Amino acid sequence: MSQNLFNRVWDLHTVRQLPSGQTQLFIGLHLVHEVTSPQAFSMLAELGLPVLHPERTFATVDHIVPTDNLARPFQDSLAEEMIQHLEASATRLHIGFFGMNSNRRGIVHTIGPELGLTQPGLTIACGDSHTSTHGAFGSIALGIGTSQVRDVLATQCLAIARPKVRRITVSGRFRPGVYAKDLTLHIIHRLGVNGGVGYAYEYGGEAVAGLDMEGRMTLCNMAIEGGARVGYVNPDAVTVDYLRGRPYAPSGEAFERAAEWWLSLASGPDAEYDDEVTLAAEEIEPVVTWGINPGQSAPVSGRIPTPEAVPADDRQATREALEFMRLTPGAPIAGVPIDVAFIGSCTNGRLSDFRAAAEVIRGRRVAAGVKALAVPGSMQVRRQCETEGLDAVFREAGFEWREPGCSMCLAMNPDKLVGDQICASSSNRNFKGRQGSPTGRTLLMSPAMVAAAAIEGAVSDVRELLPQSEEVPV
């Protein structure tokens, strides 16, 4: 029996075992953004400490950036203050900073991979839950709190308990119209929003191996929504090809040496796990959430549950969700009318997401009364889309084509739901109030499904809008 990747990388980064039973874990890459860092930088200043490894620390701005009007100062004075704080801290502490004037700016989990900062075998920390995204490369990527941001800035280490490792094997191939987003929502539905607590999830099997890196990022992004702080995919040729030529990846001979090492970290066929789950890709349909956590979902051909139809333990949560969402128990999920369509976020704001959505909307129009936003995850994604003419496809269909940022995923910026609007969203959380209005309602789904909902004005099966013969890439 051999070690799995997680335990191998963890051991390589272990400084020592602490009396508390935790591990003092060295962090190879620290990513910083404007929301969770100001307090951490202030704490560091109070202690009179420098950043121990500024060359391993990179910052950007994403959550609070407006996506329509970038004129400075921002209209929101608090947002302006947060950005100024990060700008000053990055300059003072010699941290790499992809700020408002950088053409490498974007959502922190989008730019890390696309710049080649995210690499296999690294330990990565960021003051944001969806840091799990970076596990797509075979790294251990941990979302941390503000005091831990301070700790990593000062010591480049975290005190953290070692989780167990669950292998999730997905056999077979996805059917047309089914994407990584559907897989990750399906897993959360099957294992529960707390099913991964205490675990790191290793995703593998034929269906996962067949995903491109962007699909793998979508999958790992939502590991945290299933309770697993870490999700990862073993590095392979797809990983190596993605990283080749990226600005912060090694180059030349050093890249070949690094690639050899990256591939050697992958879990072998005889690796041991604390738990194993097997799923079949063919059984997965496009998925839509109907509730107030990402596990409350149904296949698009399915129905919104009645409280009586769910296990007794889930009844109260189901009642609460149905009351908030004001959806009809027992009704089909397809046909639920929407007010807003949002394509973007660190889950689904990458080139392949906009390509998939463009396939659906090309030559069609957004339904009357629906506000539709397309928000690239980064400047680079925006440029890639515009090079391919995708921005024109979105504009002609009636979408607003915006500047990069987190936008309506968390609505810490002007992009917010109003009143009790229902939003078909490619983001990752459907909690009450998540999209900026306390009574706003969120239906999570893939970007292609959001596109279909935008066109039809209601939740719709994207497979009915795709060319019949087309084999849709996962």
Site for ligand SF4 in 311-350 (CB under 6 A): 345-346
What the block records as the tokens of 361 is 């909307």
Q: Which of 27, 187, 361, 406 binds ligand SF4 (CB under 6 A)?
A: 406
Nearer to ligand SF4, 225 or 339 (CB): 225
Strand, helix or coil for residue 215: helix
Alpha carbon distances (Å) from 383 to 1, 376, 396, 402: 46, 9, 18, 12
Single-letter amino acid, residue 53:
H
Question: Using CB atoms within 10 A of its CB, is residue 302 exposed (0-12), middle (13-18) or buried (19+)?
Answer: middle
Q: Do residues 445 and 299 make contact, with C-beta atoms less than 8 angstroms apart?
A: no
In angstroms, what is the minimal distance from the CB of 431 to ligand SF4? 11
The per-residue b/e assignment along 309-323, b for 16 or more CB within 10 angstroms, e otherwise, is eeeeebeebbeebbe
Nearer to ligand SF4, 65 or 258 (CB): 65
Segment holding 352, helix H or strand E: helix 351-361
Site for ligand SF4 in 184-203 (CB under 6 A): none
Binding-site size for ligand SF4 (CB under 6 A) equals 13
Beta-strand ranges (E) seen in 302-450 are 340-343, 371-374, 400-401, 422-425, 441-444
Window contacting ligand SF4 (CB under 6 A); options: 299-307, 308-316, 404-412, 451-459? 404-412
Site for ligand SF4 in 415-444 (CB under 6 A): 427-428
Cβ-Cβ contacts under 8 Å for 154 (sequence gap 6 or more): 44, 47, 49, 51, 52
Q: Do residues 440 and 342 make contact, with C-beta atoms less than 8 angstroms apart?
A: no
Over the window 346 to 385, marking each residue x when it contacts ligand SF4 by CB under 6 A and - when it does not, the resulting string is x---------------------------------------
Nearer to ligand SF4, 32 or 258 (CB): 32
Counting every residue written for the chain, the total comes to 474
Nearer to ligand SF4, 62 or 151 (CB): 62
Window contacting ligand SF4 (CB under 6 A); options: 20-28, 47-55, 384-392, 406-414? 406-414
Q: Which of 51, 219, 410, 453 binds ligand SF4 (CB under 6 A)?
A: 410
Window contacting ligand SF4 (CB under 6 A); options: 52-60, 264-272, 300-308, 405-413? 405-413
Cβ-Cβ contacts under 8 Å for 329 (sequence gap 6 or more): 304, 305, 306, 307, 322
183 binds ligand SF4 (CB under 6 A): no
Window contacting ligand SF4 (CB under 6 A); options: 158-166, 273-281, 299-307, 403-411? 403-411
Q: Which of 56, 105, 130, 371 binds ligand SF4 (CB under 6 A)?
A: 130
Task: In whole angstroms, give the CA distance from residue 446 to residue 416.
Answer: 20
Q: Which of 128, 151, 353, 415 binds ligand SF4 (CB under 6 A)?
A: 128
Give the distance between the most distant pair of CA atoms in the chain: 64
In angstroms, what is the minimal distance from the CB of 129 to ligand SF4? 7
Nearer to ligand SF4, 315 or 416 (CB): 416
Over the window 87 to 116, marking each residue x when it contacts ligand SF4 by CB under 6 A and - when it does not, the resulting string is --------------------x-x-------
Looking up tokens 């059917």 gives 175
Nearer to ligand SF4, 382 or 463 (CB): 382
Nearer to ligand SF4, 4 or 413 (CB): 413
Looking up tokens 């000062």 gives 154
In angstroms, what is the minimal distance from the CB of 448 to ligand SF4? 19
Single-letter amino acid, residue 66:
P
Question: What DSSP string runs through 28-85?
Answer: SEEEEETTTSHHHHHHHHHHT---S-GGGEEEE--TT--SS--PSSPSSHHHHHHHHH
In angstroms, what is the minimal distance from the CB of 256 to ligand SF4? 33
Window contacting ligand SF4 (CB under 6 A); options: 193-201, 326-334, 379-387, 402-410? 402-410
Neighbours of 274 (CB within 10 A): 13
Over the window 34 to 63, marking each residue x when it contacts ligand SF4 by CB under 6 A and - when it does not, the resulting string is ----------------------------xx
Judged by the rule CB under 6 A, the positions of this chain that interact with ligand SF4 are: 62-63, 107, 109, 128, 130, 345-346, 406, 409-410, 427-428
